[in-house]
């Protein structure tokens, strides 16, 4: 495939962008660490060097109440200009262009001084906002413009006004959050006033030759949100007020519909972006779940947008654009949409990392980048799951001679099971990435080979990385050998089928994966956009307010009658990802899956599963019992290697089964390579 649309320049009149690939704004959390601006300069600098046509910073508040919390990013004093200069100088040195995002969080702020358009609380924030006075609103317009002027002085190429995701500007626009009786509320004309005044004022203060991008909510996905016609009208009015290009946002943060996690099909929201593109003359940027150059090219070639925004995809691979330019899209480390180390970390108050890219968030020149400490060594890596693959690739990059052993028929380890879970097909990309890296780095791969200590000794390896992974934990339950019992790996791999009535023991990530597979069948093909949008009740005609069809989600009738058990009392699914677990819980609930916590398992026999709940013994008649009760490390090799005096480094699940988690395994593989 050629990428002529994606790689074309974009002329904004007073400035030309070198391609159509934008790194969208994301909260990095790097400001929580020491030397935040140096870290941010390195972070954005690496992405500029990697060829991004435009970069947008994380959100900076224009005044104190705009911050998400005390200590959050803010830019409203000239004193901060030299710090921001570190970022802009670095990006410009690398040949990039960068915008500062101006974000007022409004009623999403976690601070006690929270303000809002009206005194209406958000469902994701326990605090009721204090209502802004008319005078304060006028001052806020000035505050936005002040930050834009400061941004220009600090060397930014422009600003992005954050007008989506349910933040302050959205809160003015929507009836659900704006019941004011003055000039800032009531009619749509009045509700649009704040957004329009902010744009007009910024344009008046910064002049004509400064990029003013507005991130417009192309579909709100909340009740009482805008219709497509209202959004189109807003876009036209904003264009007339001075916007140079539109970025798009999808759904407020309080929406009940997933917008960016892995279960959202790639490019699913392009129909809503198109509504903006069709109504304005300035260029429009599409966003959300655009993670491959093929999808990006198709969106632009199809006329849905002029540019694409990749945020997490640039975290996963800073060289995304350069690799497309070089004709090597197969070498892109694709974002798999897991949210596990980026958004989930940010929501836990930690700086962002990335599951597939251990270097993300650690770019500060040279620091923590693995370096070879001694001579090139002959290294064996045993096990080609995520930890072993990461170790093999990282070690080879450092110049070691690497041989990778895998007992199975292919590389991938547990990822080969994960990719069969419905909606988790993105794991194919991670396997493809490693396959390409193994070939490019000339790593010797020995499939169908169980590496014995003696063979490793005879081959003369200087060091062995043991990444042999995990084996399923078999719980001590009477009747665990009953024919109705199915280990999760057999179910996920398709080696065994479950009957109509199913009990799942264990409600960790794999218990939920097993339930999803039973509901939807094996996920051998990528999720389908039309099915996804219909299931979640999205109005693709954009006539309904917020783009929501009446009646909410429409989950299909389940193929199995499923009951999910756990021994712990209390809510189920607590170990799932913060920003994706709620989707699974909602889907299971909507599909009638029963969840029973606080049980003890007694036995399994022809009558079904016998368990105790409180003081009562119960029997659930089932046809199949799926065992998802965790894992145990598989590491006999390290001990045997130690006896032969070969240095062995156990990583990932082999070291600690809890590290079956792919993020930890890939990070450990990367780190161990630096110690060889
Ligand atoms: P897990 O999260 O540890 O869950 C296993 C469950 O089995 C536990 O919740 C535990 O709950 C139960 N259990 C443990 N020992 C038991 C025993 N002896 N008898 C009966 N029940 C027992 O493990 P997992 O679901 O296999 O997931 C493993 C790893 O894969 C996790 O680290 C996770 O990060 C990763 N993963 C994540 C996702 C995701 O969606 N984020 C998906 C798949 C895998 P009770 O003891 O309360 O019953
Ligand atoms: Fe993408 Fe997952 Fe990395 Fe986040 S952690 S950028 S979702 S691959």
Strand pairing report for 245-250 and 16-17:
unpaired
Binding site membership of 659 for ligand 1 (Cβ less than 6 Å): no
Q: What is the pLDDT of residue 532?
A: 95
Query: With 80 as the cut, is the pLDDT of residue 264 above it?
Result: yes
Residue 412 domain-assigned (yes or no): yes
Contact 665, 659 (CB under 8 A): yes
pLDDT digits over 399-417, tens only?
A: 999 999 999 999 999 999 9
Do 203 and 99 lie in one domain? The reply is yes
Q: What is the pLDDT of residue 367?
A: 55
Query: What's the N-to-C CA distance of the chain in angstroms?
Result: 40
Centre of ligand 2 from the C-alpha of residue 330, in Å: 18
CATH number reported for the structural domain that contains residue 127 in this entry:
3.20.20.70
Contact 434, 333 (CB under 8 A): no
Q: Note down the domain range covering 504.
A: 498-521+559-629
Binding site membership of 568 for ligand 1 (Cβ less than 6 Å): yes
Q: Which residue has the tokens 């609930």?
A: 589
Sheet containing 648-650: which strands, arranged edge to edge? 444-446, 401-405, 378-382, 463-466, 648-650
Ligand 2 pocket mutation, candidates 333, 338, 360, 428, criterion most atoms within 8 A of CB? 338
d(CA 187, CA 441): 62
Residue 61 carries which DSSP code? B
d(CA 524, CA 382): 28
Q: Is 515 left (phi over 0), alpha (psi -120 to 50) or beta?
A: alpha
Catalytic residues: 167
pLDDT digits over 51-80, tens only?
A: 999 999 999 999 999 999 888 999 999 999
Residue nearest to atom 8 of ligand 2 (CA): 335
Q: What is the pLDDT of residue 373?
A: 72
Residue 275 domain-assigned (yes or no): yes
Binding site membership of 354 for ligand 2 (Cβ less than 6 Å): yes
Query: With 90 as the cut, is the pLDDT of residue 635 above it?
Result: no
pLDDT digits over 135-184, tens only?
A: 999 999 999 999 999 999 999 999 999 999 999 999 999 999 999 999 99
Do 243 and 325 lie in one domain? The reply is yes
Residue 544 domain-assigned (yes or no): no
Ligand with an atom nearest the CA of residue 656: 1
Centre of ligand 2 from the C-alpha of residue 569, in Å: 31
Do 350 and 443 lie in one domain? The reply is no
d(CA 576, CA 582): 8
Structural domains counted in the chain: 3
Mean pLDDT calculated for residue range 592-599: 97
Q: Which helix (H) or strand (E) holds 670?
A: helix 662-673
For residue 370, give both structure tokens.
């693995």
Q: Which helix (H) or strand (E) holds 668?
A: helix 662-673
pLDDT digits over 425-482, tens only?
A: 999 999 999 999 999 999 999 999 999 999 999 999 999 999 998 889 999 999 999 9
Do 588 and 655 lie in one domain? The reply is no
Instruction: Read off the pLDDT band of 133 (50, 70, 90).
Output: very high
Q: What is the pLDDT of residue 399?
A: 94
Last residue of a domain, one of 301, 336, 365: 365
Do 639 and 608 lie in one domain? The reply is no
Ligand with an atom nearest the CA of residue 310: 2
Instruction: Read off the pLDDT band of 9 (50, 70, 90).
Output: very high
What is the pTM for the complete model shown?
0.95
Q: What is the pLDDT of residue 372?
A: 72
Q: What is the pLDDT of residue 512?
A: 97
Residue 322 domain-assigned (yes or no): yes
Q: What is the 3-state secondary structure (H, E, C) of 183-226?
A: CCCCCHHHHHHHHHHHHHHHHHHHCCCCEEEEEEEEECCCCCCC
pLDDT digits over 348-376, tens only?
A: 999 999 999 999 999 986 655 566 777 88
Do 233 and 178 lie in one domain? The reply is yes
pLDDT digits over 282-323, tens only?
A: 999 999 999 999 999 999 999 999 999 999 999 999 999 999
Average pLDDT of the chain, as a whole number: 95
pLDDT digits over 604-623, tens only?
A: 999 999 999 999 999 999 99
Do 388 and 507 lie in one domain? The reply is no
Instruction: Read off the pLDDT band of 395 (50, 70, 90).
Output: very high
CATH number reported for the structural domain that contains residue 570 in this entry:
3.50.50.60
Query: With 60 as the cut, is the pLDDT of residue 205 above it?
Result: yes
Last residue of a domain, one of 312, 330, 365: 365
Do 218 and 311 lie in one domain? The reply is yes
Do 179 and 298 lie in one domain? The reply is yes
Do 402 and 311 lie in one domain? The reply is no
Contact 342, 578 (CB under 8 A): no
One DSSP character per residue, 556-612 reads PPPSSEEEEE-SS-S-S-TTS-TTTHHHHHHHHHHTT-EEE-SEEEEEEETTEEEEE
User: CA-CA-CA-CA torsion for 105, 106, 109, 114, nearest 10 degrees?
Assistant: 150
Residue 448 domain-assigned (yes or no): yes
d(CA 580, CA 343): 10
Contact 418, 514 (CB under 8 A): no
For residue 404, give both structure tokens.
């990778």
Residue 527 carries which DSSP code? P
Do 88 and 209 lie in one domain? The reply is yes
Task: Collect all residues with Cβ–Cβ distance below 8 Å to 338 and sequence separation of at least 6.
Answer: 261, 262, 355, 426, 577, 580
């Amino acid at each position: 495939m050629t990428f002529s649309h994606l790689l074309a320049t974009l002329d904004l009149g007073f400035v030309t962008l070198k391609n159509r690939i934008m790194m969208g704004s994301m909260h990095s959390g790097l400001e929580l660490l020491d030397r935040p601006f140096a870290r941010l300069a390195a972070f954005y600098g690496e992405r500029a060097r990697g060829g991004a046509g435009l970069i947008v910073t994380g959100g900076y508040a224009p005044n104190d109440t705009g911050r998400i919390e005390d200590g959050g990013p803010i830019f409203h004093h000239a004193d901060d200009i030299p710090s921001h200069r570190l970022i802009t100088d670095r990006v410009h040195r690398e040949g990039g262009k960068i915008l500062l995002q101006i974000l007022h969080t409004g009623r999403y702020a976690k601070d006690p001084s929270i303000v809002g358009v009206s005194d209406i609380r958000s469902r994701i924030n326990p605090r009721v906002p204090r209502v802004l006075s008319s005078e304060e609103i006028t001052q806020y317009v000035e505050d936005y413009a002040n930050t834009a002027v400061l941004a220009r002085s600090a060397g930014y190429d422009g600003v992005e006004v954050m007008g989506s995701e349910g933040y302050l500007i959205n809160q003015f626009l929507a009836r659900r959050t704006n019941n004011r009786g003055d000039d800032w509320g009531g009619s749509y004309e009045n509700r649009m006033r704040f957004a329009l005044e902010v744009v007009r004022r910024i344009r008046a203060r910064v002049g004509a030759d400064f990029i003013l991008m507005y991130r417009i909510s192309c579909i709100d996905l909340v009740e009482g949100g805008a219709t497509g016609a209202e959004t189109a009208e807003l876009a036209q009015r904003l264009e007339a007020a001075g916007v140079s290009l539109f970025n798009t946002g999808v759904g407020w943060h309080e929406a009940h519909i997933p917008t960016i996690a892995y279960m959202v099909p790639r490019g699913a929201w392009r129909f809503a972006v198109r509504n903006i593109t069709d109504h304005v003359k300035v260029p429009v940027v599409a966003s959300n779940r655009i993670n491959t150059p093929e999808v990006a090219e198709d969106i632009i070639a199809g006329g849905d947008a002029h540019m694409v925004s990749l945020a997490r995809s640039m975290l996963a691979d800073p060289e995304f654009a350069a690799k497309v330019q070089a004709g090597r899209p197969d070498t892109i480390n694709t974002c798999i949409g897991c949210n596990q180390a980026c958004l989930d970390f940010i929501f836990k108050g930690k700086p962002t990392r990335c599951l597939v890219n251990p270097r993300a968030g650690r770019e500060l020149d040279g620091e923590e980048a693995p370096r070879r400490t001694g001579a090139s060594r002959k290294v064996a890596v045993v096990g080609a799951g995520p930890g072993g693959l990461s170790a093999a690739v990282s070690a080879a990059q450092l110049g070691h001679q690497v041989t990778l052993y895998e007992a199975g028929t292919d590389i991938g380890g547990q990822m080969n099971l994960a990719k069969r879970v419905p909606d988790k097909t993105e794991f194919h990309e991670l396997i493809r990435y490693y396959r390409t890296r193994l070939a490019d780095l000339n790593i010797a791969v020995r499939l169908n080979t169980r590496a014995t200590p003696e063979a490793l000794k005879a081959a003369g390896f200087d060091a062995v990385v043991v990444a042999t992974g995990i084996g399923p934990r078999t719980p001590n339950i009477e009747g665990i050998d009953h024919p109705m019992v199915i280990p999760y790996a057999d179910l996920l791999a398709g080696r065994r089928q479950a009957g109509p009535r199913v009990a799942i023991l264990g409600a960790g990530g794999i218990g939920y994966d097993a339930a999803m597979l039973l509901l939807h069948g094996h996920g051998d093909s990528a999720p389908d956009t039309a099915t996804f949008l219909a299931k979640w009740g999205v109005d693709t005609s954009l006539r309904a307010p917020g783009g929501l069809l009446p009646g909410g989600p429409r989950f299909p009738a389940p193929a199995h009658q499923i009951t999910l058990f756990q021994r712990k009392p209390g809510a189920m699914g607590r170990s799932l990802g913060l920003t994706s677990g709620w989707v699974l819980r909602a889907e299971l609930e909507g599909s009638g899956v029963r969840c029973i916590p606080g049980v003890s398992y007694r036995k399994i026999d022809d009558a079904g599963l016998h368990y105790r709940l409180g003081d009562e013994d119960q029997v659930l008649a089932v046809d199949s019992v799926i065992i998802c009760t965790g894992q145990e490390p598989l590491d006999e090799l390290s001990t045997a290697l130690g006896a032969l005096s070969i240095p062995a480094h156990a990583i990932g699940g082999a070291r600690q089964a809890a590290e079956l988690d792919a993020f930890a395994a890939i990070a450990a593989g990367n780190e161990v390579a630096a110690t060889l």
